[in-house]
Amino acid sequence: MKTLTRIALAAAALAVATSFAAAAEAPAWLKAPLKKPLDQLVIGLSFPLLDPWGATYESSFLDYAKQLGVKVVVLDSQADVPKQSNDIRDLVAQGVDTIIALPLNNRAIVGALGEAHSAGIPVVLSNGRVAPSGEQYVTAWTGPDHHKTGYLSGQMLIQALGEKANIVIISGTPGTESGDRREKGCRDALAEHPGVTLLDAQPANFQREKAQSIMEAYITRFGDKIDGVCANDDDIALGALAAIKAAVAAGRLKPDHIKITAGASQKEGYEEIKKNGYFYGSVLMQPDDASHLALKTAIEVAEGQDVAKEQYYDTPPYTLKNIDQTPIPSY
Amino acid sequence: MTVSSYLESRPAVAFRVFDHVAIGALRNPIWLSLLVAIAFFAARSPHFLSLFNISNILLQAAFFGFLAIGLTLVIVSGHIDLSVGSLVGLTAGLGVVLQPTLGLPLSVLAALSAGAAVGVFNGVLVERLGINSLIVTLAAMIGLKGLTFAIVGEESIIAESTAFSQLGSFRIGSIHLITITFFVLLIVANWVLTTTRHGREAYAIGGNRTAAVNAGIRVRRHVIINFAVSGFLAGLCGLAISANMGAAVPTYGDGYEGWAIAAVALGGAKLTGGSGNVVNSLGGVLLLAVLRNGLNLAHLSAHYVLVAIGVALLVALLLEKRSGAPIILPNLITKHRRRA
C-alpha cells in the first residue's frame, strides 16, 4: 500500500514536471494576470457519445489542450442518460476547474449541473442547451449560431436563383435548437425577397431517407415549379439530391434546374458541391471550431475572467466559387 | 482472518443469521477484490475517498443495486430475468407520463404495480408453461423496450411534480434517500432469504428442483413471487432514476440487466441456482460502481472501463469454476432441458 502510494506520488510528480516543461506561453487571448498557471488547470469534458462527429470533436479538443498545456479529463456517457449525470458527478468529485458539457438530454442533466454549481465548479455548455431550470448553473454557452447558418443557406439559394423563385424547405428535428432555428433563419432570408415564394416546409428530422421521401412528395406535388431546396443540413440535402436525380432520370423533372443549399456541412456534401451539380452551397460547421471555442471559454472561466454568456464560432458559407479557400469539413 | 479462527473467536450461541452472512462474506473473494479496488483507486486519486465521492459511488451503486437484489432472488431459485433493464425504462416512463392525469402517489403506485405485474407475467409463463426463463424474459426485454418507446416517445418527458424531483435528489446528511432506500431493501431481502420459509425454500428449489417438488414445496408459487419482486424492484429503480433526473427518457435502463447480473455473478451466486445471497451481491454491486467511478477518476477512457469490468467478471467466473461449479450458460440450458 505504502509503496503503491509512493509510486503514485512519484508518477504524479513526474507528470507535473513534464507538463511544466511542455507548457506553452499563455496565449494572447488570455488576459494577464492568471489566477492559476495554465499547466495547473484541469478541465473536465462530459461527452454524450463518441460517434464520428464526437470523435473528431474529442481529438481536436485533446490536441488543443496539449498545445495550450492544459490537463483535461474526457468522459463519454456512451449515450446513456443517467451515466452522463454520473460522469459529471465524477468530475465534481475530482474538483476540476471547469466542466464542459454537451448535454445528451437537456432536462436530465440539470441535477448534476446543480451539484457542480453548489461545489463551486463553473459549467460551460458546448453546442447543446439545458432546460430553463438549469440555466442558472451555466456560466457560458458556446456553439454555432443556427439561425445564422439557416439564414446563410437561404441567402445562397437566392443568390443562385435570382429574385423570383419557388422554394421548398426540408428542415431538421422540430423542437431542437438546430432544427427550429435553422428553419427560422432560412424563412427569414426568403422573406426579405418579395419575389420568392415558399411552397412548403416539412421536417426530415435530419434523416437522409426521410428527406428523400419528402422531396419525392414535393416533386409529385409541385414538379418543375420547384426552383430551389433549402435543406437544414448536408444529410437532408443529400437525401433531396437523391430524389431529384432519380426524378430527372425518370423524366419527371427537367434536368439541371433545381438548386439545393444546406445549413450545416459534411464531408460528403462538400465533395458533391465540388461537382457543380444540383447541390449549390453549404455552411461550414466544424467540430474542431466547436471544441476549440469550448476549451478556450472554459479556460477563461477557470481563470475568473468575464466571458460573454453566448458565444458563437465562425460558420462561413461556401459554394463552388470559394470552395478551394474553404477547409474540407473534418466530419 | 480465516473462517475457522473467526468461528472460534465468537461465542457458541452467536446469532445464527449473522454468522451465516459473515462466514459467507469471508469465504467470498468479492470483498477482498472490493478492498483491493478501493485501495488502488484511493492511491491513484486523492478525491476518491472524499465524502462527496463516496456518496456519489453509493448513489450510482443503488441504481442497478435494486435490480441486483431482485435478480439474486430469481437466480437463487434457479432462473434468470433479462427483462429488468427494459422494465426500468418502462416504469420510469409510466411514473412520469401519468403524473399530469393521476397525480404523484397514484402514478408511483401504477409504475410499481406495472413492474410487479410484468414480473408475475414472466413468472407465470416460466412456471405454468414451462418455457425457459432466459427465453421468456428475453422476449419481455425486447417487447417492453418497444412498448416504452410507444408510451414515452423518442424524446424525454419532464416530470411535472416538483416533489418527485425533490425526493429524487433528497439527501440525509450527504447520503441520498435513494441510497438509504436501497440499503433498507437489501436488509429486508437478506432477512427474507436467510430466515423466512420463502427464502429457505427458494434455495431448495434452485439447489434441486425435483427434490423440492418431492418435498412438497410449492415450487411455482415461490418462483412467481421472486419474479414479481424482481419486477417490482425494477419499477423502483425506474422511479429512482427518473426522480433523480427529473425526467423520463425511453433509453433509461438500457443494458442494466447486464450490470445487475454481473454484480450477482461477481457476488458468487451460481447462475444454476441454489446459491448466492444479497450481501455478496452487494459486494458485486459496489465493486462495479467503484470500478466505474474509479476508472473515471483515474482518467481512463470509458472503453477501458468496460474492458476492466469484463475481465473482473471473467476472473469471478473462473474462481467459481475452480470451486467445482460448471460454467453457467450451457448448464442453465441443460438444466431446463432436464426439467422439460
Contact between B282 and B289 under an 8 Å Cβ cutoff? The reply is no
Q: Is B157 part of a structural domain of the chain?
A: yes
Phi-psi label, residue B167: left if phi above 0, alpha if psi -120 to 50, beta otherwise? alpha
Contacts of A110 in chain B (CB under 8 A): 246
State the smallest CA–CA distance between residue A112 and chain B in angstroms: 8
The pLDDT of B18-37, averaged and rounded, is 72
Which DSSP category does B2 fall into? Answer: -
pLDDT bracket for residue B10 (50, 70, 90): very low
State the smallest CA–CA distance between residue B16 and chain A in angstroms: 35
Give the chain B residue whose CA is nearest to the CA of A73.
Answer: B299
Q: Is B19 part of a structural domain of the chain?
A: no
A110 shares contact with chain B (CB less than 8 Å)? yes
Give the chain B residue whose CA is nearest to the CA of A58.
Answer: B301
> What values do phi and psi take at A107, rounded to 5?
-95, -45
> What values do phi and psi take at B269, rounded to 5?
-70, 135
Report residue A62 CA to chain centroid gap.
17
Do A4 and B40 count as a contact with CB atoms less than 8 A apart?
A: yes
Interface with chain B: mutation pick from A3, A58, A62, A83, highest number of B CBs within 10 Å: A83
Class of domain A2-144+287-315: alpha beta
What is the helix (H) or strand (E) element at residue A273, kind and residue range? Answer: helix A267-274
Q: What is the pLDDT of residue B297?
A: 86
What are the DSSP calls for B69-80, one per residue? HHHHHHHHTT--
Cα angle value B107/B113/B114 (rounded, 5°): 90
Q: How far is CA A52 from CA A57, A59, A287, B274, in A?
A: 9, 11, 10, 46
Predicted structure pTM score: 0.77
Architecture of domain A146-284: 3-Layer(aba) Sandwich (3.40)
Do B302 and A8 count as a contact with CB atoms less than 8 A apart?
A: no
Residues in chain A with pLDDT < 50? 1, 14, 16-23
The complex scores an ipTM of 0.74
Q: What is the pLDDT of residue B338?
A: 41
Give the chain A residue whose CA is nearest to the CA of B293.
Answer: A90
Round to whole Å and give the CA distance between B146 and B257.
17
Do A111 and B165 count as a contact with CB atoms less than 8 A apart?
A: yes
Domain count within chain B: 1
A16 shares contact with chain B (CB less than 8 Å)? no
Peptide bond into A33 cis (omega under 30): yes
Do A87 and B45 count as a contact with CB atoms less than 8 A apart?
A: no
> Is B155 a residue whose pLDDT tops 80?
no
Report residue A250 CA to chain centroid gap.
37
Contact between A224 and A193 under an 8 Å Cβ cutoff? The reply is no
Give the chain B residue whose CA is nearest to the CA of A91.
Answer: B297
Mean pLDDT, chain B, rounded, equals: 86
- Domain locations along chain A: 2-144+287-315, 146-284
What SS3 class is residue A283? strand
Query: Residue B175 is placed in which grid cell?
Result: 447520503
A86 shares contact with chain B (CB less than 8 Å)? yes
Give the chain B residue whose CA is nearest to the CA of A116.
Answer: B52
Contacts of A90 in chain B (CB under 8 A): 53, 56, 293, 296-297
Do A111 and B168 count as a contact with CB atoms less than 8 A apart?
A: yes
Angle between helix axes B16-27 and B278-297 (nearest 10 degrees) is 40
Residue written as grid cell 470559394: A322
**Partner residue facing A1 (CB), from B39, B158, B255:** B39
Give the chain B residue whose CA is nearest to the CA of A81.
Answer: B252
pLDDT in tens, A29-54: 888 788 889 999 999 999 888 778 88
pLDDT in tens, A174-218: 878 888 999 999 999 999 999 999 999 999 988 999 999 999 999
Note the maximum CA span of chain B: 61
Round to whole Å and give the CA distance between B309 and B131.
31
Cα angle value B85/B134/B201 (rounded, 5°): 95
A294 shares contact with chain B (CB less than 8 Å)? no
Q: State the amino acid at position A112 in one-letter form.
A: A
A119 shares contact with chain B (CB less than 8 Å)? yes
Contact between B37 and B291 under an 8 Å Cβ cutoff? The reply is yes
Round to whole Å and give the CA distance between B47 and B13.
43
What SS3 class is residue B230? helix
Round to whole Å and give the CA distance between B103 and B96.
10
Contacts of B251 in chain A (CB under 8 A): 79-81
Q: What is the pLDDT of residue A291?
A: 96
pLDDT in tens, B256-288: 999 999 999 989 898 889 999 999 999 999 999
A1 shares contact with chain B (CB less than 8 Å)? yes
Best CA proximity match to A312, nearest among A145, A138, A147, A182: A145
Q: What is the pLDDT of residue A34?
A: 84
Q: State the amino acid at position A155 in one-letter form.
A: Q
A88 shares contact with chain B (CB less than 8 Å)? no
> Is B7 a residue whose pLDDT tops 50?
no
Tally Cβ neighbours within 10 Å of residue B89: 28
Three-state SS annotation for A290-302 = HHHHHHHHHHHHH
A94 shares contact with chain B (CB less than 8 Å)? yes
State the smallest CA–CA distance between residue B187 and chain A in angstroms: 25
A95 shares contact with chain B (CB less than 8 Å)? yes
Residue written as grid cell 469539413: A329
Q: Is B300 part of a structural domain of the chain?
A: yes
Give the chain B residue whose CA is nearest to the CA of A12.
Answer: B44
Instruction: Give residue B287's domain range.
Output: 28-339
Q: Cite the beta strand spans of chain A per DSSP E.
A: 42-47, 71-76, 98-101, 123-126, 138-143, 165-171, 196-203, 228-231, 259-262, 279-283, 310-312, 317-319
pLDDT in tens, B49-95: 999 999 999 999 999 999 999 999 999 999 999 999 999 999 999 99
> Is B46 a residue whose pLDDT tops 80?
yes
Tally Cβ neighbours within 10 Å of residue B321: 12
Q: Is B13 part of a structural domain of the chain?
A: no
Q: Is B14 part of a structural domain of the chain?
A: no
Residues linked to residue A310 through DSSP beta bridges, in sequence order: A141
**Partner residue facing B296 (CB), from A4, A75, A85:** A75
Round to whole Å and give the CA distance between B92 and B236.
9
Q: Which of A158-162, B153-157, B331-335 has the largest mean confidence? A: A158-162
Round to whole Å and give the CA distance between B114 and A199.
48
A65 shares contact with chain B (CB less than 8 Å)? no
Q: What is the pLDDT of residue A6?
A: 56
Do B47 and A95 count as a contact with CB atoms less than 8 A apart?
A: yes
Report residue B1 CA to chain centroid gap.
29
Q: Is B2 part of a structural domain of the chain?
A: no
Q: Is B5 part of a structural domain of the chain?
A: no
Sign of the torsion angle spanned by Cα atoms A253, A255, A258, A263: positive
Q: What percent of chain B has pLDDT over 90?
A: 64
Q: Is B18 part of a structural domain of the chain?
A: no
Interface with chain A: mutation pick from B44, B59, B148, B245, highest number of A CBs within 10 Å: B245
pLDDT in tens, B89-137: 999 999 999 999 999 999 999 999 999 999 999 999 999 999 999 999 9
Give the chain B residue whose CA is nearest to the CA of A110.
Answer: B245
Q: Which of A249-253, B12-16, B28-32, B116-120 has the largest mean confidence? A: B116-120
Do B251 and A106 count as a contact with CB atoms less than 8 A apart?
A: no
> What values do phi and psi take at B174, rounded to 5?
-110, 5
CATH number at residue B151: 1.10.3470
Query: Residue A281 is placed in which grid cell?
Result: 452551397
pLDDT in tens, B184-209: 999 999 999 999 999 999 999 999 99
Domains A2-144+287-315 and A146-284 share a fold: yes
Q: What is the pLDDT of residue B18?
A: 55
Q: How far is CA A297 from CA A54, A68, A143, B333, in A?
A: 19, 13, 11, 57
> Is B27 a residue whose pLDDT tops 80?
no
**Partner residue facing B245 (CB), from A74, A108, A133:** A108
The pLDDT of B161-177, averaged and rounded, is 92
